[in-house]
Structure 1
């Protein structure tokens, strides 16, 4: 079944209600269905065929939502991208995915200038008069894409690709987790069953990127005819977010990274907002520390659901309902319905009850594999089981999962993943850098901060190395602090012991960059 049927079902439930609200701009459900079908027809008119990939590179905008659903509707494959990525990173993903077209906005149009000529560039309309004054480079204007006649929904197989969710691994290069129509439908069903059934008249507020976590939450919201409010602010602001909740009588905070939730709770004007309609907050993307959870429950009441998932099993591995979290400190919940979860040793054999091992899962939400990467697919999917790379244990009495480490050393800062090797490889391009190790350390605001331990042949300043990273990577991946050391701790085989670096007391002497 084409997952775009969720939009049709949602429209039947909603009648003429608003599907999207973006500042003063409102789009009803009938209008959204019509727009999606016409945009899908326009993509066909541009020469795209079912199975072709379409990259989405823009901030949260109604056009992003329209194009995402138009991809589903027409049988194309959406490739949403973090619009803060460096142009080199964008070019790699566009090339690796073989994208036939890319949707950009005024904020991201420069990244399209370096793409191969065969990639069709579609430019979203300017959101403000200031953007309109800047003009745009050559490309197809978005207004020219919707066709005069809507396209009939494409017939697809459940296993057909619908969304390439680009993540990364120990290689540092992004990998496209291939999510099928079946994966997305299963994810939506588990949300309705285990998180919230979404009552009529519900409204979701989206402030996190719709190209990633929050975009996945569009599916259960739209499938039940809820109104989706897209914050028009270009960057997250706690005061703006709280004001949107009050103004639009929001019932669901669609998705918040712990960093975002913490900033909201600490806002000095928090108590002045009317949040009485809010009944659900879903938090994920990084660990939510127990003290932060307790503060959030004190502020909002017991309405906070924690979930653990990956791009490879979107949004849907374990869930911690609001009433259980404080009773099971440190746990990320129990498996969603339809998910099998095991803890295994390095050789794949089961570990004793309550012992640590790698978390592996299987179920209808698990990806088909990594796009055009059979080696990584074979390493990650074994006999139908997804090897998450996360280390944890199950409570033998009640089945709650506790994550204790991340085998892949991923750093999660502000809800975004940073993979140490990609930062290390950039730092090692500096002629004076001899050795480097990048780790994550706890950060009260961001969850974790990126710290680089550097062995250099000459005196260097931290700012110089940070600027080097900014020239090649997204800004959020740059080190926030640099520690210059004489050598790095290594084990008997010469491997750097990052665990020891995280525990070093001399972190207080690091050169901090903000």
Structure 2
């Protein structure tokens, strides 16, 4: 097992290697027999995880992957996702995780934009690639088993390692670790592209290293922790909020293929899970499961929450179960970790996303770019630090527009600080509703409406209004058997909201449209109507 790519005679002399494969090998060397990863009823040790990553690196290298070239991965959560990611780090290649819910044309754009050299598609996802194969520029296609146009990865891995099905390959089958610098790109992660084509955020080896440290320090992660991840790994929430930090700390990762509330509660009890990550929608669905009240969740010492504002009623519900909620805020472009709100401050800082992570700077800037020094004055949240992306792949124009001088990344989120320096997110700049010249921040209205006993889910958007420019629309999914009128909703919210913030239109839907990470697709709500109320 190679522990480091640093060489006393090379360019990286005197510099500790921070590459993805470097730290995994170093961690494994400390305890190769320790459990690293459990998935699908099978557990791999750290030694086995490194061996598999080395075999994958050998397969990729044999197919022509060299430092800087891109390798795509399309599929649900699986140990092979991480094996491929670490193998890319091993070779100095760039990992490109793909959203498995995208259509063929959407995937084709990303694959060609990134210039992916080798693409792996898991079972069930080769057909969507075959539909657009003629327009792709990929040079090599890998699937689990060989098929027309696809090489069989399982057989290639077996040949590369000469080991058995449990991953006990010879370490010398792997190529040497490539020398990587902290600012070398480790992954290109594409933003959701709610308007126009998605952009690829270039995250470096150093970005992941700093994020891991931020999360480890703010969540007090130790090698004795058992982390559960059920969020999609192609998203920074699933990849960076528990998965990679747990592995760097030497803990035990339990990986679920996809999100299922019953499976989450079952695995928490079975594996005595101590830490996990979720978006609020996932916690909502868990809390609504009939087994929630009697589930054994006693081992959980913290759930990190991000990706969307945490509704206050949901926070109170989990706190009542004795489950500490560590709220946070981050973006794809910041490798996730930006601010954290510790559970012990959750009660007196309701609605806050906390204070900056240990290795990250955060500030508020006015909408003209000027720094804001006054508490509770709203502006754009900006971030600077080693976790902030290098830029957007092949988009120098977008990169330039995303930063203020001095390296401050513009998040596009509206926020403010209180007198103690705790940050609050009001909303996305593009989601803000302006009615009669007044700014309405949907998250504020949603938090109030979530308390209504008839509402299961709610999203607030703006709609054109001849008199006021826009008016507030509440799109709700009702609880089974419940009914609701606009007048009743207004009467409920009026004591807690200024009149201009009250919904002027009520639409009911069966369920809110969400992306794979649980975020409500407000652009779709704006495009579609609903049953008026």
TM-score in same-fold range (> 0.5)? yes
Counterpart of 1:436? none
Aligned residue for 1:482?
A: none
Residue 325 of structure 1 pairs with residue 346 of structure 2? yes
Question: 38, 43, 48: which is aligned to 1:26?
Answer: 43
1:372 aligns with one of 372, 394, 402: 394
Matched position secondary structure for 2:420: coil
Larger relative contact order (Cα-Cα within 8 Å, sequence gap ≥ 6): 1
- CA 1:340/1:24 → structure 2, altered by over 3 Å: closer, same or farther? closer
From 72, 83, 96, give the equivalent of 1:66: 83
SS at match of 1:327: coil
CA RMSD of aligned residues (A): 2.6
Give the corresponding residue for 1:124: 144
Tell me the secondary structure at the aligned position of residue 199 of structure 2: strand
Q: Equivalents in 2 of 1:142, 1:249: separation in Å?
A: 33
How many angstroms does 1:173 deviate by?
Answer: 1.4
Shift of 1:193: 1.5
Q: CA offset at residue 499 of structure 1?
A: 5.8
Deviation per residue, 1:362-411 (Å, 9 max, x gap): 1111110000001110100222110111111111x210001112113399
**CA distance in structure 2 between the partners assigned to 1:248 and 1:194 by the alignment:** 23
Residues 184 and 289 (structure 1), Cα distance of their counterparts in 2 relative to 1, 3 Å cut: same
Alignment partner, residue 152 of structure 1: 176
Instruction: Rate the CA distance shift 1:408–1:271 in 2: closer, same or farther, 3 A.
Output: same
What displacement does 1:208 show? 0.7
The residue that corresponds to 2:255 in the other structure is: 230
When residues 378 and 11 of structure 1 are mapped into structure 2, their CA distance, relative to the original with a 3 A threshold, is: same
Q: Which residue is 2:465 aligned to? A: 489
Report SS of the residue matched to 1:174: coil
Distance 1:298 1:167, change over 3 A: same
- Which residue in the other structure is 1:310 paired with? 331
Scaled by the length of structure 1, what TM-score is found? 0.79
Change (3 A) 1:54 1:410: farther
TM-score, scaled relative to structure 2: 0.76
- Tell me if structure 2 keeps the 8 A contact 1:203–1:226: yes
Matches of residues 361-400 of structure 1 in structure 2 within 5 Å?
A: 361-383=383-405, 384-395=407-418, 397-400=419-422
Q: Distance in 1 between matches of 2:432 and 2:62?
A: 42
Residue equivalent to 1:505: 504
Find the partner of 1:142 among 111, 132, 153: 153
Specify the alignment match of 2:524 in structure 1: none
Q: Mark the runs of 5 or more structure 1 residues left unpaired by the alignment.
A: 126-134, 412-438, 454-487
2:198 corresponds in structure 1 to: 174
Shift of 1:451: 7.2
Q: Secondary structure at the match of 2:409?
A: strand
Deviations 1:447-479 (A, max 9, x none): 6559796xxxxxxxxxxxxxxxxxxxxxxxxxx
Q: Are the aligned partners of 2:223 and 2:246 in contact in 1 as well (CA < 8 Å)?
A: no
Quickly say closer, same or farther: Cα 1:122–1:506, change in 2 above 3 A.
same
Q: 1:200 aligns to what SS in structure 2? A: coil
Contact 2:471/2:504 (CA < 8 Å) preserved in 1?
no
State whether structure 2 residue 60 is matched by structure 1 residue 43.
Answer: yes
**1:212-239 Cα distance to aligned partner (Å, 9 max, x none):** 121223221111221111124xx42211
Structure 1: distance between partners of 2:85 and 2:229:
15
Matched, 1:194 2:193: no
Instruction: Give the C-alpha shift of residue 18 in structure 1.
Output: 2.0
Question: How far apart are the structure 1 equivalents of 2:119 and 2:531?
Answer: 37
Partner of residue 54, structure 1: 71
Q: 1:38 to 1:194 in 2, by over 3 A?
A: same
User: May I ask how many residue pairs the two structures share in their alignment?
Assistant: 433
1:63-103, Cα deviation, whole Å (9 max, x unpaired): 11111111111111111112111222111111111111111
Distance 2:264 2:346 in 1: 24
The 1:276/1:508 distance shift into structure 2, 3 A limit, reads closer
What is the CA deviation profile of residues 123-181 of structure 1, one whole-angstrom value per residue up to 9, with x for unaligned ones?
135xxxxxxxxx95421111244324112111011111001111145743111110011
Question: 1:109–1:136: 8 Å Cα contact kept in structure 2?
Answer: no
- Residue by residue, what CA displacement relative to the aligned partner does 1:343-362 show, whole Å, maximum 9, x if unpaired? 11122112341210111111
- What does 1:50-129 align with in structure 2 at a 5 Å threshold? 50-113=67-130, 114-115=132-133, 116=136, 118-124=138-144
Once the two structures are overlaid, the 10-residue window that deviates more, 29-38 or 270-279, is 270-279
